[in-house]
Structures are given as C-alpha cells and as structure tokens.
Amino acid sequence: MIGGDALHVATAALGGVKYLLTLNCKHIANAHELPRVYKLLSDEGLGGMLICTPAEFLGGN
C-alpha cells in the first residue's frame, strides 16, 4: 500500500468509520492487500471497518 493510501485508511479507522468505500482497487480494495490491511488494523485495535467498492457495498460485482 502506498503512503497516501495508508494514510487514507488509517484516518478513516481512527475516525471510527465503519464502511470505507473506494474505487482504488489497486492499493486499497484489493483482494491481495485487504487481509494485510485488516490484520494491521486489528493488531492496533481498530478492526471492524469494511473496505469495499461502492458496487460491492450495494450488492453488485
């Protein structure tokens, strides 16, 4: 994950965001990155945020 993207996720987590919707499938909403992101957040006591694309959030592909 790139620094700006990591800052985006960290800021959302610290702000108590429950759903982070993003179109950034390269660095954030990426099946290869998400497990690592979720683990880092959980290790810091910031778990529980769902990161996905708007289409996924609305039940689409």
Place of tokens 């694309």: 53
What DSSP state is assigned to residue 1?
A: -
- pLDDT of res. 44: 94
CB 54 within 8 A of CB 24: no
pLDDT, tens digit, for every residue of 25-61?
Answer: 888 899 999 999 999 999 999 999 999 999 999 997 6
Three-state secondary structure call for residue 52 = strand
**pLDDT beyond 70 at 15:** yes
Residue 51 three-state SS? strand
Instruction: List, for residues 17-31, the tens digit of each pLDDT value.
Output: 999 999 998 888 999
Q: How many domains does the chain have?
A: 1
For residue 12, what are its two tokens?
């959302």
The range of the structural domain enclosing residue 53 comes to: 3-57
Band the pLDDT of 1: cuts 50, 70, 90: low
pLDDT score of 4: 87
